A and B are shown apart, each in its own frame.
Chain A
């Protein structure tokens, strides 16, 4: 079902949408009451510990758990043999192999076995007593190493998809995506200015402060209650079921509060291990990752190598674009090379282009989603090159983007025409802002970049109940990462015409509400919101019917206004929600309705950002002076939490640009798996992050919503590189722009 009525071109006269209510779950969060995954404690609970591969690539010759099983307090030990053989489509098999290794360990940190015992210390001691015999194999850690002829192979049967003719030999290249339009040679021949470069980015981690945690309570026949913090408990259910070899219905998943995800908690790691341990032990089992494990063995974002070339006319028109891109997938296929290929040139009209994206496996943890997966890397290359062209042409960086910006009706480089979008509005918002004219001092620079992300729709369900007191409960299945419960309350309040404080938004478990896809992909306010709106409208239609019954009039005599049923001719006193609830016995029973949909009318998001920074020429250290981001949110349901998404994405992008990277030693082991040496931005690194929430309403949503969570992380990488170039006249193509790298560029200017 879809909601397509009421395209949000009506001007806001909203009473609740667009206001900044206190989030309903806020009191629990500021008093320490909110229960996150690791806070769950059950009677008789055991603690789990995971044994992980110390090798980046090794055959598992044998695993001997006999000693571990006899140790004090140990109740269960599991290995890959405790799970069904991997089966199903390739992606499912990869998931099953990633959760626990079978024939090979494919990265340092890959799960080999797990133990459940009375105490953490006992579980750890027993895990360390498991004897594993490995045959260490050579490893590959970069796309260059993995793609070199004769490179050691991670998967002996991996044949590259998407090349023509199809290969006859396996390799470490899982697939190739290609997008092409026009005539590339002609385009470059027509160009007055050509800019090119080879760019590299390193793997980075989403950096959520809460490590993964799960508590499983499994009966001997497999019926399980699973508490976990995740970006989607229905997704946890279905993915865990795949690994366990069960029907999903055997699992009831209760969402704990989640301490950050950003895409990294849209897949499973501990959950099937906790379930199988619990089943074997006959007791609940809690598994919590250490920070070290989070870094080594969850799903960072791909490192990349990108060779880019753009051609422009003297007036700034982009006429040609060529990108060769290789994305690290980690140990199993599935990098976002395809998405990166689709988004790279998406903000621009460019008639001649060729974009290739290769998905390459390496002996690193399997990558997972991280806010607009794939887009930040390819945009880093494109937005840097656009800046170089602007410099060569003597054009303002915003003007060159305005010259080529896509608008409604333009053909995207990834295929279809754009519907109504707000890209130009973000460019103009930056250009017209006073920040853009602030004069800069020595060693200071200004950098601009833009970005695009599709946003998602997907499946959501919601149930709405009216209580006897006329207050409303709204149940959805979308974990609340960033204030979505507040947004649901505001939209429901707007629909019912009652105070948002009378709406109680609840995140239900997998048995209490219909199926919901993940909280991620910038979809929740749009899709779950759409389900909530539809359920509210069903209830309101029911309420009108109850009033019609009570007044003995036809339905068309009843309208719903400001939280009351009103007779259109005013011949009856209005009936409030509480009034109608009081009478529900006599008018048809309790007041409740559900809605479920595969959301339509998704609106894409654009962001343009400008950073002012200062480079210390003696140390290469960068100080961020000012940051301004303009992003099209369609309609901000709760402006504070929309601003929060914009700011959070920017700061993650700043960390990615300036400092964050996975560092591996020659043995393929991560050297910085902690927050000390994997240094994410802290408060003293940053200024205020100024936001402009542009609203070009999305005609596909009743309130004009566009997803806001992801696109903000796309521009900062190039914005920073462009600003550094502006500050010290050094164009650096490799991230992160750490002090060492910048100082090296300053000193060695000719290399």
Chain B
């Protein structure tokens, strides 16, 4: 099967890559573009470790065929920070010890970024349901939810 050329924007940069028609966007981002911040936890869309934003919507990259990325704007965990300026979410995860092994952290940061874009003042319940598609086995979610809540508060204050 011949490979397909795809052009899209990833983390603010225009990129071109080749992929198999049935290749997953997850493998392509990791292997072709070297964006290993995205993780494969299950490959079947159940764990959220491969969470990306595609045209501002939250997706599991493992459930997207790579050619579908054509013409889209993709954000991965590597594209959240601005140079060495971490986002409030990233800062709050660090301050709040919202990570232990850290494998789920990229997915959570992307998913929480999506949440706060659409809902800048979420309740605890809204946070928990928005993040229900991201599995964490280490933290029990307590410190993650607190970090998202704190980051949301900081972001609201900053834009007030």
Direct interface between A and B, CB < 8 A: yes
Q: B139 near A648 (CB under 8 angstroms)?
A: yes
In the complex, A30→B112 CA distance in Å?
A: 13
Q: 1/0 contact trace for A674-697 toward B, CB 8 Å?
A: 111000111110101100000000
Q: B135 near A32 (CB under 8 angstroms)?
A: no
Indicate whether A221 reaches chain B with its CB closer than 8 angstroms. Answer: no
Give the residues in chain A near B102, CB-CB below 8 Å.
Answer: 25, 29-30, 34, 257, 259
B27 CB → nearest A CB, Å = 8
Indicate whether B28 reaches chain A with its CB closer than 8 angstroms. Answer: no
Indicate whether B136 reaches chain A with its CB closer than 8 angstroms. Answer: yes
Q: A20 near B97 (CB under 8 angstroms)?
A: yes
Indicate whether B94 reaches chain A with its CB closer than 8 angstroms. Answer: yes
Give the residues in chain A near B103, CB-CB below 8 Å.
Answer: 36, 208-210, 257, 259-260
Indicate whether B74 reaches chain A with its CB closer than 8 angstroms. Answer: no
In the complex, A27→B81 CA distance in Å?
A: 11
Indicate whether A368 reaches chain B with its CB closer than 8 angstroms. Answer: no
Q: B140 near A648 (CB under 8 angstroms)?
A: yes
In the complex, A20→B90 CA distance in Å?
A: 16
Q: B132 near A29 (CB under 8 angstroms)?
A: no
Choose, from A49-57, A431-439, A461-469, A639-647, the stretch at the interface: A639-647
29 CB < 8 A contacts A-B: A20-B97, A29-B102, A30-B105, A30-B109, A31-B80, A32-B36, A32-B37, A32-B78, A33-B37, A36-B39, A39-B36, A41-B31, A208-B137, A209-B101, A209-B104, A257-B101, A259-B41, A259-B104, A481-B100, A652-B137, A680-B135, A682-B132, A683-B128, A683-B141, A683-B144, A686-B141, A686-B142, A688-B142, A688-B146
Give the residues in chain B near A680, CB-CB below 8 Å.
Answer: 135, 137
Give the residues in chain B near A332, CB-CB below 8 Å.
Answer: none
| Interface positions of B from 25 to 39, Cβ below 8 Å from A | 30-31, 34-39
Give the residues in chain B near A31, CB-CB below 8 Å.
Answer: 37, 77-78, 80-81, 86, 90
Give the residues in chain A near B47, CB-CB below 8 Å.
Answer: 209, 291, 675
Indicate whether B114 reaches chain A with its CB closer than 8 angstroms. Answer: no
In the complex, A650→B80 CA distance in Å?
A: 32
In the complex, A237→B141 CA distance in Å?
A: 34
Q: 1/0 contact trace for B131-160 toward A, CB 8 Å?
A: 111111111111111100000000000000
Give the residues in chain A near B133, CB-CB below 8 Å.
Answer: 682
| Interface positions of A from 459 to 497, Cβ below 8 Å from B | 481-483
If over half of B's interface residues share one DSSP class (helix, strand or loop), that class is named, otherwise mixed; here it is loop
Give the residues in chain B near A35, CB-CB below 8 Å.
Answer: 36
Among the interface residues B80, B125, B127, B141, which one has the most CB atoms of the partner chain A within 10 A?
B141
B9 CB → nearest A CB, Å = 18
Give the residues in chain B near A674, CB-CB below 8 Å.
Answer: 42, 44, 46
List the 3 closest pairs (A to B, CB-CB), nearest first.
Answer: A32-B37, A259-B103, A651-B140
Q: B143 near A644 (CB under 8 angstroms)?
A: yes
Q: 1/0 contact trace for B20-61 toward A, CB 8 Å?
A: 100000000011001111111111101101000000000000
Q: With A32-B77, A206-B137 given, can you name 4 additional A-B contacts, CB distance below 8 Å?
A: A651-B140, A675-B135, A686-B128, A686-B142
Q: Which of B38, B135, B145 contacts A688 (CB under 8 A)?
A: B145
Q: B127 near A260 (CB under 8 angstroms)?
A: no
Q: Evaluate whether A32 and B141 lie within 8 angstroms (CB atoms) in the complex, with A211-B40, A680-B135 already known.
A: no
Give the residues in chain A near B137, CB-CB below 8 Å.
Answer: 206-209, 260, 262, 648, 652, 680
Q: A291 near B99 (CB under 8 angstroms)?
A: no
| Interface positions of B from 87 to 126, Cβ below 8 Å from A | 90, 93-97, 99-106, 109, 125
Give the residues in chain A near B100, CB-CB below 8 Å.
Answer: 481-483, 641, 644-645, 648
Q: B44 near A291 (CB under 8 angstroms)?
A: yes
Indicate whether A283 reaches chain B with its CB closer than 8 angstroms. Answer: no
Q: Which of B35, B49, B104, B140 contacts A686 (CB under 8 A)?
A: B140
If over half of A's interface residues share one DSSP class (helix, strand or loop), that class is named, otherwise mixed; here it is loop
Among the interface residues B20, B139, B144, which one has the most CB atoms of the partner chain A within 10 A?
B139
Q: Which residue of B lies closest to A40 (CB)?
A: B36
Q: B105 near A291 (CB under 8 angstroms)?
A: no
Q: Which of B31, B95, B135, B142 contacts A689 (CB under 8 A)?
A: B142
Give the residues in chain A near B136, CB-CB below 8 Å.
Answer: 209, 683
Q: Evaluate whether A647 and B143 lie within 8 angstroms (CB atoms) in the complex, with A32-B77, A209-B136 already known.
A: yes
Q: Evaluate whether A22 and B94 lie within 8 angstroms (CB atoms) in the complex, with A29-B102, A675-B135 already known.
A: yes
Q: A23 near B36 (CB under 8 angstroms)?
A: no
Q: A30 near B143 (CB under 8 angstroms)?
A: no
Give the residues in chain B near A684, CB-CB below 8 Å.
Answer: 125, 128-129, 131-132
Give the residues in chain B near A481, CB-CB below 8 Å.
Answer: 100-101, 138
Q: A683 near B42 (CB under 8 angstroms)?
A: no
Indicate whether A290 reaches chain B with its CB closer than 8 angstroms. Answer: yes
Q: A640 near B96 (CB under 8 angstroms)?
A: yes
B74 CB → nearest A CB, Å = 14
Q: Evaluate whether A675 and B46 lie within 8 angstroms (CB atoms) in the complex, with A22-B95, A31-B37 already known.
A: yes
Give the residues in chain B near A262, CB-CB below 8 Å.
Answer: 137
In the complex, A311→B110 CA distance in Å?
A: 54
Indicate whether A26 reaches chain B with its CB closer than 8 angstroms. Answer: yes
Q: Which residue of B lies closest to A682 (CB)?
A: B132
Give the residues in chain B near A647, CB-CB below 8 Å.
Answer: 139-140, 142-143
| Interface positions of A from 28 to 82, Cβ below 8 Å from B | 29-36, 38-39, 41
Indicate whether A258 reaches chain B with its CB closer than 8 angstroms. Answer: yes
In the complex, A638→B97 CA distance in Å?
A: 10
B157 CB → nearest A CB, Å = 21
Give the residues in chain B near A29, CB-CB below 8 Å.
Answer: 99, 102, 105
Q: Which of A26, A206, A291, A652 contacts B94 (CB under 8 A)?
A: A26
Among the interface residues B37, B106, B125, B145, which one has the most CB atoms of the partner chain A within 10 A?
B37
Q: Evaluate whether A482 and B101 lie within 8 angstroms (CB atoms) in the complex, with A209-B47, A644-B138, A647-B142 already known.
A: yes
B158 CB → nearest A CB, Å = 19
Q: A676 near B138 (CB under 8 angstroms)?
A: no
Among the interface residues B37, B80, B103, which one has the most CB atoms of the partner chain A within 10 A?
B103
Give the residues in chain A near B105, CB-CB below 8 Å.
Answer: 29-30
Q: Which residue of A lies closest to B79 (CB)?
A: A32
In the complex, A34→B39 CA distance in Å?
A: 11
Q: 1/0 contact trace for A11-23 toward B, CB 8 Å?
A: 0000000001011
In the complex, A675→B142 CA distance in Å?
A: 21
Q: B127 near A30 (CB under 8 angstroms)?
A: no
Among the interface residues B76, B133, B141, B142, which one has the most CB atoms of the partner chain A within 10 A?
B142
Q: A683 near B132 (CB under 8 angstroms)?
A: yes
Q: A651 near B141 (CB under 8 angstroms)?
A: yes
Give the residues in chain A near B39, CB-CB below 8 Å.
Answer: 36, 38, 209-210, 259
Q: Which residue of A lies closest to B132 (CB)?
A: A684
In the complex, A483→B101 CA distance in Å?
A: 8
Q: Which of A121, A207, A644, A689 contacts B97 (CB under 8 A)?
A: A644
A33 CB → nearest B CB, Å = 7
In the complex, A643→B98 CA distance in Å?
A: 11
Q: 1/0 contact trace for A626-668 toward B, CB 8 Å?
A: 0000000000001011011101101110000000000000000
In the complex, A9→B75 CA distance in Å?
A: 52
Q: Which residue of A lies closest to B23 (CB)?
A: A121
Q: Which residue of B lies closest to A677 (CB)?
A: B46
Q: Which residue of B lies closest to A210 (CB)?
A: B103
In the complex, A25→B134 CA distance in Å?
A: 22
In the complex, A681→B30 CA distance in Å?
A: 28
